[in-house]
C-alpha cells in the first residue's frame, strides 16, 4: 500500500477515476487544495464526492508554488508520501516540482511546463522537426494582426494555457481575429484563479480527421496503448462531440499517427507520464495538434478500459510511484467502444431531455449521463458545455460509433431560450 499526494483535481470524470484506481490498487491518498468548496459545490452524479475518501484533506496555497513547496515538505515529514499526482492540467507542473523537491518519482518539471504551455510545445516540437502547423506566438492583438497577414487565413486562435477547447476559435478574417483576441484579453484568469499568460497563439488551420494517441512512458520507453478517433463540432469553436476507441484507421495511418506522437513526447522530454497526444491526419501527413501529459479526458480512458482492460488512471498512479504499469491487454468481450456528447445549440434553461426513456436498457449501452432539468445551458463554445453523454460498445467490430449515433439521433435537449 502506498500513500500518494493528490494536488487538486478536475471535478468531473477524473475526480472519480483517479480515486477509484487508488482504492483498487490498495493505496490511500492525501488531497491538497486551496479551495475545498470548489469540489463540494459539484459532487458528481449527486453522490458524496470521491475526493473526500482521502485519508487527509489539507488546505494549501496550490497557486503559490514557493509557499506550497515549504508546506509540502513539512507535510512529507509528518505523513510520508510515496508519489505525487494530479488530474488537473493547471497543476501538472506543480505536481512535478513537488515530486522533484521531495525526491519522489515523476517527470521533469521543465518537460511538464513545456507540454502544458501550447506556445512552448510549438517551439520545442518545431526545433525537433516534429510536424505541426505553421504558427506564430504574439504578445498582443497588434502583433496577431501582423502575423495573420503573414500566415494567411483561415487560422486558429488559441490561448497558450487553457484546456478543454476554451477560447479556441477559427478565424477567417481580421474582424473575427479581433473578436477572438478581445475574448482572450477579457479572460485574464483561468478557472482556478491563476493569472493567465497574455500571449496569443496563431496556427494554420489543419484539415483532416483528428485522432489522439494514448501512451504510457516509463523509464524512457513509450508504450502505445492505442489510438482514439475524435469528432469535432461547434464552429467557430472546436467542441469534441464524440470519440471511438480504437480508431478505424488504415495500418499506414495508424503507424504514422503513433510514430508522430512518440516523437513529440520524446522531443518534450516526457517520461514517467501517461499522455494524450492529439494528431490531425492531413493530406501532407500527421501534424501534432497538442500534447497533454496526463490521461485523456472526456471518458476516453473508460473507452480504453472497456476494450482493452487497461486502466490508464491506474497506470498514472504506477508511474508516479516509479513502478512498471500493467499494460497487458485482456479480452473484455468488446472490440470497440464509443461516446457521444449532447451539445446544446443555444443558451437558456434545460427543461427536459426528450427521447431519453429506455436509453440505459438499450443494446450495448455502457453509460448514460444526462443533465437535470433546471440547469443553466451555456453557449456551446468548449468541452464544458455538454448536457450529457452516452457510451456504448460493440462486441463484433468497429460499430460502436454508429451505435451511439443511432441512439442519440432520437435524443433532444429541450431548452427555454434566455
Residues 288 and 350 in one domain: no
Residue 152 has pLDDT above 90, yes or no: yes
Residues 146 and 239 in one domain: no
Integer Cα distance of 321 and 2 in angstroms: 8
Residue 46 has pLDDT above 60, yes or no: no
State the pLDDT at residue 243.
98
Picking from 204, 220, 254, the residue at the C-terminal end of a domain is: 204
Residue numbers of the domain that contains 285:
206-332
Higher pLDDT, 358 or 107: 107
Higher pLDDT, 42 or 144: 144
Q: Kindly report, residue by residue over 11-44, the tens digit of the pLDDT.
A: 877 888 999 999 999 999 999 999 988 887 655 5
Residues 210 and 308 in one domain: yes
State the pLDDT at residue 176.
97
Picking from 300, 316, 332, the residue at the C-terminal end of a domain is: 332
On whether residue 120 sits in a domain, the answer given is: no
Of 9-23, 81-95, 122-136, minimum mean pLDDT range: 9-23
pTM: 0.95
Residue 244 has pLDDT above 80, yes or no: yes
Q: CATH number, domain at 139?
A: 3.30.1490.20
Confidence of residue 217 (pLDDT cuts 50, 70, 90): very high
What does residue 158 show for φ and ψ, rounded to 5 degrees? -135, 145
What is the average pLDDT across 129-152? 97
The count of structural domains within the chain is: 4
On whether residue 115 sits in a domain, the answer given is: no
Residues 314 and 231 in one domain: yes
Residues 273 and 383 in one domain: no
What is the average pLDDT across 104-124? 98
On whether residue 169 sits in a domain, the answer given is: yes
Residues 220 and 184 in one domain: no
Residues 233 and 279 in one domain: yes
Residues 225 and 327 in one domain: yes
Residues 40 and 138 in one domain: no
What is the average pLDDT across 351-368? 92
Higher pLDDT, 86 or 13: 86
On whether residue 184 sits in a domain, the answer given is: yes
State the pLDDT at residue 134.
98
- Residue-averaged pLDDT of the chain: 94
On whether residue 407 sits in a domain, the answer given is: yes
Q: CATH number, domain at 241?
A: 3.30.470.20
261 and 217 Cβ atoms separated by less than 8 Å: no
248 and 212 Cβ atoms separated by less than 8 Å: no
Task: Look up cell 487508488; give the residue.
Answer: 22
Confidence of residue 417 (pLDDT cuts 50, 70, 90): confident
Confidence of residue 45 (pLDDT cuts 50, 70, 90): low
Of 99-103, 156-160, 327-331, 374-378, minimum mean pLDDT range: 374-378
Residues 198 and 212 in one domain: no
On whether residue 92 sits in a domain, the answer given is: yes
What is the average pLDDT across 122-144? 98
Residues 260 and 307 in one domain: yes
On whether residue 126 sits in a domain, the answer given is: no
Q: CATH number, domain at 49?
A: 3.40.50.20
Picking from 289, 307, 332, the residue at the C-terminal end of a domain is: 332
Q: Kindly report, residue by residue over 297-307, the tens digit of the pLDDT.
A: 999 999 999 99
Residues 243 and 256 in one domain: yes
On whether residue 175 sits in a domain, the answer given is: yes
Amino acid at each position: 500500500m502506498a500513500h500518494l499526494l493528490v494536488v487538486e483535481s478536475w471535478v468531473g470524470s477524473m475526480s472519480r477515476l483517479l480515486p477509484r484506481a487508488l482504492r483498487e490498487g490498495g493505496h490511500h491518498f492525501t488531497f491538497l487544495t486551496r479551495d475545498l468548496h470548489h469540489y463540494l459545490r459539484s459532487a458528481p452524479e449527486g453522490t458524496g464526492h470521491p475526493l473526500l475518501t482521502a485519508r487527509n484533506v489539507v488546505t494549501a496555497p496550490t497557486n503559490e508554488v514557493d509557499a506550497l513547496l515549504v508546506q509540502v515538505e513539512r507535510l512529507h515529514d509528518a505523513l510520508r508520501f510515496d508519489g505525487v499526482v494530479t488530474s488537473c492540467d493547471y497543476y501538472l507542473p506543480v505536481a512535478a516540482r513537488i515530486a522533484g523537491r521531495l525526491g519522489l518519482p515523476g517527470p521533469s518539471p521543465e518537460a511538464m511546463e513545456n507540454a502544458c504551455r501550447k506556445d512552448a510545445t510549438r517551439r520545442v516540437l518545431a526545433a525537433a522537426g516534429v510536424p505541426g502547423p505553421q504558427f506564430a506566438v504574439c504578445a498582443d492583438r497588434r502583433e496577431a494582426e501582423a502575423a495573420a497577414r503573414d500566415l494567411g487565413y483561415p487560422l486558429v486562435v488559441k490561448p497558450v494555457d487553457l484546456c478543454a477547447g476554451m477560447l479556441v476559435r477559427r478565424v477567417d478574417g481580421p474582424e473575427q481575429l479581433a473578436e477572438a483576441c478581445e475574448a482572450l484579453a477579457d479572460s485574464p484568469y483561468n478557472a482556478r484563479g491563476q493569472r493567465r499568460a497574455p500571449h496569443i497563439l496563431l496556427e494554420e488551420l489543419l484539415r483532416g480527421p483528428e485522432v489522439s494517441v494514448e501512451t504510457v512512458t516509463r523509464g524512457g520507453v513509450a508504450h502505445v496503448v492505442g489510438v482514439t478517433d475524435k469528432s469535432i463540432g461547434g464552429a467557430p469553436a472546436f467542441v469534441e462531440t464524440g470519440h471511438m476507441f480504437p480508431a478505424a484507421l488504415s495500418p499506414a495511418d495508424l503507424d504514422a499517427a503513433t510514430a508522430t506522437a512518440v516523437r513529440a513526447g520524446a522531443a518534450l522530454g516526457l517520461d514517467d507520464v501517461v499522455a494524450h497526444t492529439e494528431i490531425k491526419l492531413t493530406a501532407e501527413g500527421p501534424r501534432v495538434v497538442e500534447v497533454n501529459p496526463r490521461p485523456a479526458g472526456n471518458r476516453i480512458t473508460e473507452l480504453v478500459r472497456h476494450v482493452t482492460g487497461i486502466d490508464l488512471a491506474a497506470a498514472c498512479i504506477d508511474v508516479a510511484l516509479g513502478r512498471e504499469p500493467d499494460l497487458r491487454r485482456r479480452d473484455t468481450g468488446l472490440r470497440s467502444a464509443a461516446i457521444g456528447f449532447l451539445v446544446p445549440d443555444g443558451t437558456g434553461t434545460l427543461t427536459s431531455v426528450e427521447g431519453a426513456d429506455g436509453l440505459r436498457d438499450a443494446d450495448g449501452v455502457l453509460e448514460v449521463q444526462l443533465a437535470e432539468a433546471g440547469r443553466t445551458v451555456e453557449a456551446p463554445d468548449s468541452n464544458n458545455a455538454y448536457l450529457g453523454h452516452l457510451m456504448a460498445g460493440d462486441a463484433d467490430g468497429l460499430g460502436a460509433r454508429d451505435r451511439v449515433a443511432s441512439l442519440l439521433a432520437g435524443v433532444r435537449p429541450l431548452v427555454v431560450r434566455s
